[in-house]
Amino acid sequence: MTERAMQEPTLLLLTALADAPRHGYALIQEVAAISDGRVKMRTGTLYGALDRLLQQGLIEVAAEEVVDGRARRTYALTAGGRAALAAEAGRLRAVASEAERRLSVVLSRVRGTFA
């Protein structure tokens, strides 16, 4: 049996961290950019998800600093996080490929009907 599909917030956060470590506000901006503005992650949702991903070992704290008197953590993917993201990307590619294959069969039938 295969693992359950990754929830969208998890997928978006891991994707946002795939190319560089980022702090919370930068993650919110990246998630919005990746989703073309469709997903606007709220602060509470973000930090709840980050805590869960830390516990699962998919991300780690790469750095901690104080900026304007406030603590700022920068997060990065772990090797496990990269593997999980790669597996999910492969799963999504396979599903999309099958969807396109099935749609092309239907479209070719429809076009044949009107030809």
| Whole-number Cα distances in Å, 20 to 27, 79, 113 | 10, 13, 51
Give the model confidence (pLDDT) of 56-102 as tens digits: 999 999 999 998 888 899 999 999 999 999 999 999 999 999 999 99
Single pTM value for the model: 0.85
Nearest Cα neighbor of 7 from 65, 94, 92 is: 92
Q: Which two tokens stand for residue 81?
A: 């996080």
